[in-house]
Amino acid sequence: MRIGIGYDVHKLVEGRKLIVGGIEIKHNKGLLGHSDADVLIHAIMDSILGALNLGDIGKLFPDTDMAYKDIDSKILLSRVYEIMVSKGYEIGNLDSVVAAEKPKFKDYIEEMEGVIANILKTDISNISIKATTTEKLGFVGRKEGISAEAVVLLKEKN
């Protein structure tokens, strides 16, 4: 078994769609980034890559490479999944949290869990997504951005 942790932050800006957990969420702002800036999927990818001791998503998918400009992060997660499988691992379980003052994520969590479970080819019961605020503290509390953390346990495939 191997464990990994991931963390990501993106700034909220006008003129972009808000994509979190692989789905579009209605909001007046979106996240700024080279890709679609899906903060949750980025944290999940980093947790898997960390568990495999392969660095982070910036190493695999650099923001200086135009091939990844505005790319759907679900595609990148699929590539990380393929790497994980090629190394002989599968998801044991994944626990994650998204921090934002607005929007509220509770109505989207089940759909996000389903999207991520599908990409990682695991049962939805192995995927946990929680949402929180920062009680109006810091950049998240000022509604300037959204952060996400993920922890994953990988197990060797039978």
Question: Residue 70 belongs to a domain with what CATH number?
Answer: 3.30.1330.50
pLDDT along the chain (158 residues), means of 10: 98 97 97 96 98 95 87 97 98 98 96 98 98 95 97 94
Q: What is the pLDDT of residue 67?
A: 86
Q: What is the pLDDT of residue 70?
A: 85
The number of distinct structural domains making up the chain is: 1
Binding site listing: 8-10, 34-35, 42, 56-58, 61-65, 132-135, 139, 142
Distance CA(127)–CA(146), nearest Å, equals: 20
Q: What is the pLDDT of residue 65?
A: 84
Q: What is the pLDDT of residue 101?
A: 95
Token representation of residue 95: 């626990």
Q: Cis ω on the peptide bond leading into residue 103 (within 30° of 0)? A: yes
Distance CA(146)–CA(12), nearest Å, equals: 7
Binding site listing for a divalent metal cation: 8, 10, 42
Give Rg (Cα) of the chain: 15
Host domain of residue 125: 2-156
